[in-house]
Chains A and B, each alone.
Chain A
Amino acid sequence: MKDDAPTPRGRTLALGALVLLGGFAVMVLEIVGARYLQPWFGGAFYVWTSQIGIVMLALALGYGVGGHMADRFKKARFLSLLLAPAGIFILLIPQMAPGMLDGIVDRHMKSSASVPSAEPTASEAVRTGLVITETNLLAEIPKDFLEGKTNNAANNLPAPPIDEAPPSEIPAVWRKLDPAIGSALVFLFPCFVLAMISPFMVRLAARQVAHVGTVSGLVYAASTVGSIAGVFISAYVLIDLFTTTQIFQMTGALTLGLGGLCCLIDWQWPEDLQDD
C-alpha cells in the first residue's frame, strides 16, 4: 500500500454508483426477463425457478471470475471491455432472443409438415351494413326456445370421431429444463458480466487490508440495495409503463453507461490505480 490518504469522495461515489446500478440492472433483467420468457415457456413455477437459478449461477460465476480479473488487471477500464458487449447484448435481446427461444420450443414439434386445413369457408355469407342490436339479433328465434321451454327433436348421431395423430407433448424433464435453457441463453451472459462489478469494486476501493471488511460489506450492501430497487421498480413501475423492448433497451443503455463510468474512473483518478 502506498499511502493512507483518504480516497477522493468523487471516486468513492462513482464506485458506489457502479455497484448499486449494476445490482439494479441484474434484477431488472431477472424480473422482466421471467415475464419475457412467458410466451415460450408459460407463466408458472418453472419459469421463475429457472430464471432465479440461472441468475444466481451468473452471479456466482461473475463474482468468482470478476474477483480474479480484478487482482490481475486492476484497472476499472478492463470492466468496460466486458460491460460494452453485455450492454449491446441486452439492447439486442428483443431482436435476438425470439429466434433462439423459438428453437428451444419448436424442437419438440412433430416433424410432419403442416397440413393445410381442408375446411370449407363459411357456408353462408350474409353481409349487412346494419347496426346490430341485441334485441333484433334475437328477433326471429322462437320465444319458447329462448325461455328454455323446449328441447330438441332427436336426430341421428354420427359416429364418434377417431383420434388421428397423437398430440405433441413435451417430456416432463424438458418441461422443467427448457425454461432454464432459455433463461441461460438470454440472461446468463449479461448477468455474469454485471456480477463482476462487485468484486472488482472491492479491489479498487480497498486500499488497506485492515479495511477490507468494511469495504466489502459496503459493496455487498450497495449492490443488494440496487437489486432490491431493481425488483420492485421493475414489477411495480416498468412493466406497467414501458414495453419489454423499451425496458431491455434502457437496461442495455444503462450497462453501456456503467462501462463508460469505469473508463471515467480510470481517467479521473489515475493516481489511485494500485500496482502492488
Chain B
Amino acid sequence: MLTVALLCVAVAEGAVRYRSQSAHNQIVVEDKGGYRMLRFNGSMETRLLIANPLLGHFEYTDYFQMPLLWNPKAKRVLVMGLGGGSTQRAFQGYYPTVHVDTVELDPAVAKVAKEWFGVKETKTHTIHISDGRGYLRRNKNRKYEAIMMDAYSSNTYGSFIPYHLATKEFFQLAAEDLTANGVLAYNVIGTYQEWRADIVGSMYRTMKTVFPHVYHFPAADSQNIVLLGVKANTGGLTSATLRARVDLLRRAQPKLPAYFGPRLARIRASAPPSAEQSPVLTDDHAPISKLLVPAK
C-alpha cells in the first residue's frame, strides 16, 4: 500500500506536458520541480529552468562555447543535434551575432524544441532536417568556425553515438568544412576511468588522427566529456596564448557569460588514460557497441 501511495506521489510530481511518437523517437516533455525536461525513448536529453530558460541546462553544453577562444568573432557555427536546444539558446543569448546552423534528423524534435523549449528560427538560427554526415557532405562550400557534435540516438539504456559520426572519415569530412582556425567540439558520454572510458579514449585517439591538437573538458554535473579538436597546426596552447585568447574573446564578445571562466578552468590537454588501449574508429571498423561494454 505504501509503495502504491509513494508511486502516486512520484507520478503526481512530474507532469507530462506533451508526448509524441516520430519515425525516430518517442518524445516526452515533462515539468517537474521548476524544471522542464525532454526525454527521447526514456533517456533525458535536456532540461531547463522554466523561470529562466538560459539556466538549468546540463553543464556540458557550456563547453560548446570553448571553440570561440580560437574564433572570438565567429560568424557561423554548426550544431549537430538539437534536442531541447540548450546550445542554441546560449548562443542566441550570449553571442547574438553568431549565426547558428542546427542539423537535426528528426522533424518532430524540431517541432518540440520550438513549442516547448523556446528555440526560435531567426535570422541567426536555421534548423536543417538531415543526417549530420549527409549535411556536411552536401555543404562543403559552407565553412564554419566551429562544429558542435551532440547527435545521439537514445533508448532506455542510455544514449549511443551513431558510429558514422565518430570515425576518422567523419572527422576528415568535418575538418574540410571548418575554417583554417576552426574547432570541432564533441560531446562524448563517458568518464576517464571506468564507465565508458574506452569510448572516450577511442574518440580522443580518432580525433587526434585529424586534429593536431585535442583538448577536453570533463563536465562537473554529468558523465560527459567534451573533446575539442583544433584544426590549425600552429602550436598548442600555452599559458601565454591561452591568456591572449581569453583577452581577445572578452573584448569581442561583451555578453560572455560569467560562467565561461570557471568552465575554461576545467580544460585538460594530456591524453585521457584510456586512449592508449582504445582503437581508432574508422568507417571500416567501429566496434562502438564493444567499446561501450565495460571490461570485466
Contacts and interface: CB of A to CB of B under 8 A. Distances in A.
Interface stretch (A1-9, A151-159, A208-216, A265-273): A151-159
A95 interface: no
Contact of A243 (B96, B131, B285): B285
B291 to A, nearest CB: 9
B261 A108 contact: no
Interface in A16-70: 35, 38-46
A239 B129 CA distance: 29
A88 to B, nearest CB: 20
A120 B180 CA distance: 7
A244 B163 CA distance: 13
A121 B234 contact: yes
Interface stretch (B6-14, B27-35, B238-246): B238-246
A146 B164 contact: no
B99 A160 contact: yes
A46 B255 CA distance: 42
Interface string A107-146: 0111010110101111011111010111011111100111
Given A126-B241, A153-B251, A157-B96, A42 B258 contact: no
B164 A148 contact: no
Contacts, number: 208
B76 A161 contact: yes
Contact of A150 (B237, B242, B258): B258
Interface residues of B, number: 79
Interface residues of A, number: 70
B134 A240 contact: no
A165 interface: yes
Interface string B45-80: 000000000000000000000000010010110000
Interface in B129-166: 129-135, 137-143, 153, 162-165
A156 to B, nearest CB: 8
A145 B259 CA distance: 9
A110 B141 contact: yes
A274 interface: no
27 contacts: A38-B163, A39-B170, A40-B134, A42-B131, A43-B131, A43-B162, A44-B153, A117-B179, A119-B181, A121-B180, A122-B180, A122-B232, A124-B244, A125-B235, A132-B236, A132-B269, A137-B269, A140-B240, A146-B261, A148-B261, A149-B258, A151-B256, A152-B256, A155-B251, A160-B123, A168-B139, A243-B284
Given A124-B244, A169-B138, 11 more contacts: A35-B163, A42-B105, A42-B132, A122-B232, A126-B240, A136-B239, A137-B269, A140-B240, A157-B96, A163-B123, A165-B142
